[in-house]
Structure 1
Amino acid sequence: MPRLFTGIEIPPDITERLSFFRGGLPGARWIEPSDYHVTLRFLGEIDDMIAADVDAGLREARVRAPLTVTLDGLASFGGDRPRALYASVVPTPELVDLQEEHERIARRAGAAPERRKFTPHVTLARLNREASPEAVARRLTEAGVFPRLTFTARRAALFSARTSRGGGPYLVEAAYPFADADFELDDE
């Protein structure tokens, strides 16, 4: 069974800009730009009934306007044991509200509560032990000034993650358009 999560897709022009930060860090497994996303609710390996209930809940969710998403810097998770390099996302009230709605839907469907605090981000690389805190700090410094990147999210999606090392490839299993949104990322 695939692992599932809900999230927001990153448009191609933003993925291209983020891909410029790839490389230059020993111990990094770089995420494919086509797999960049903002996770709203990680579900993990759940049974088909819970997955169907999550899907139904997302389809019935309140109508919301497209939302502005802004990426504003590079950072890492893990402190003295860095485990991921990411682009941070500004936690606007609209984005936090969307995430909280996905959390409620997941819980109503029977998924265990999420224990981690929501820190919106786009994972750029997963790091192993070779990526020392010093090397990560050096890479963040060498990256220079991060230009604020902004886009309009016009839908949320239910993604599946195929079993692999470091995640990906991620596939959109279902999409949930926001109000007045005719968004088709896959039409290339």
Structure 2
Amino acid sequence: MRLFVAADLPECAKEAIAELRFELPAARWVPVEQLHLTLRFIGEVDPATFQLIRKALAAVPVEGFSLTLRGVGHFPPGKHPRVLWVGMDPSPPLIRMQQHIEGTMRELGIPGEERRFSPHITLARLQDAPVSAVNAFEARHQAFACPPFEVREFHLYSSVLSGKGATHRREATYHHKGA
């Protein structure tokens, strides 16, 4: 089973992001219904490990916080663009929640991420997209912003890859205790 942990976006944020989706050739756009903020990619696990992860994530504190999506960019920075993303304003509560999730995974013996956590919403995957077109897209949408929204929960998802892309299924939800 292939797993990841994510926070979902409200419909208003998904609709705002969807308006960006048609201006770049050679982009494989993430389906609007699958837009999310990945907090931790876990990868393939066996059924016993899945149950351990599902249970352990219940101990992660969810304090509830406001998040504002802002700006667009690409990964890897300074190299040929492979992923187009929507960014967000800095959020210490988001970072704390992600660090708790990361610590929980390490306690379970799941190797840590190699890259530093960089909060973003993946908008599209790029294959041979002209750098000039990506730069123009980013320049046109550098002022992109969504109204703030509340994050009061996160989810454990499973993901099945196919030739048509990934299919995600929510396996568990973890709420802010005051929610």
TM-score between the two structures when normalised by the length of structure 2: 0.92
Q: List runs of 5+ in structure 1 lacking aligned partners.
A: 182-188
- Show the counterpart of 1:97: 96
**CA–CA distance in 1 between the matches of 2:138 and 2:27?**
13
Aligned pairs for 1:81-92 (under 5 A) are 81-92=80-91
The one-letter code matched in structure 1 to 2:169 is L
Instruction: Give the Å deviation of 1:41.
Output: 0.6
Residue 19 (1) aligns with residue 51 (2): no
Uncovered stretches (5+) of structure 2, i.e. residues with no partner:
none
Contact 1:19–1:33 (8 Å) recurs in 2: yes
Distance (Å, rounded) in 1 between the aligned partners of 2:118 and 2:147: 17
Offset of residue 96 of structure 1: 0.5
Tell me which residue corresponds to 1:150.
Answer: 148
| 2:12 counterpart letter in structure 1 | D
Structure 1 residue 15 displacement after superposition: 0.4
Match for residue 139 of structure 1? 137
Distance in 2, Cα, partners of 1:77 & 1:149: 24
**Given residue 82 of structure 1, which amino acid in structure 2 is its aligned partner?**
P
Query: Which among 150, 157, 160 is matched to residue 159 of structure 1?
Result: 157
> What SS does structure 1 have at the residue aligned with 2:17?
helix
The count of aligned residue pairs is: 178
CA contact (8 A) 2:60 2:97 kept: no
Task: Write the deviation string for residues 20-47 of structure 1: whole angstroms up to 9, x where unpaired.
Answer: 0001211100001110111111001122
C-alpha distance in 2 between matches for 1:7 and 1:72 = 18
SS of equivalent residue, structure 2 residue 132: helix
In the alignment, the residues of structure 2 paired with residue 166 and residue 24 of structure 1 have an alpha-carbon distance, to the nearest angstrom, of: 21
Instruction: Determine the structure 1 residue equivalent to 2:9.
Output: 10
Hey, what does 2:169 align to over in structure 1?
171
**Quick one: distance in 1 between partners of 2:155 and 2:175?**
8
User: Contact 1:91–1:119 at 8 Å: present in 2 too?
Assistant: no
Confirm or deny: 8 A CA contact 2:16 2:146 kept in the other structure.
no
Cα distance in structure 2, aligned partners of 1:101 and 1:25? 36
With over 3 angstroms needed to count, the CA separation of the structure-2 counterparts of 1:138 and 1:165, relative to structure 1, is: farther
Does the Cα contact within 8 Å between 1:50 and 1:110 map onto a contact in 2? no
Change (3 A) 1:167 1:5: farther
Q: How far apart, CA to CA, are the structure 2 residues paired with 1:109 and 1:43?
A: 11
Partner of 1:38: 37
Q: Percent identity?
A: 34
- Which is further off, 118-127 or 42-51? 42-51
Please state how far the C-alpha of 1:52 moved relative to its aligned partner. Answer: 1.4
CA–CA distance in 1 between the matches of 2:90 and 2:57?
A: 21
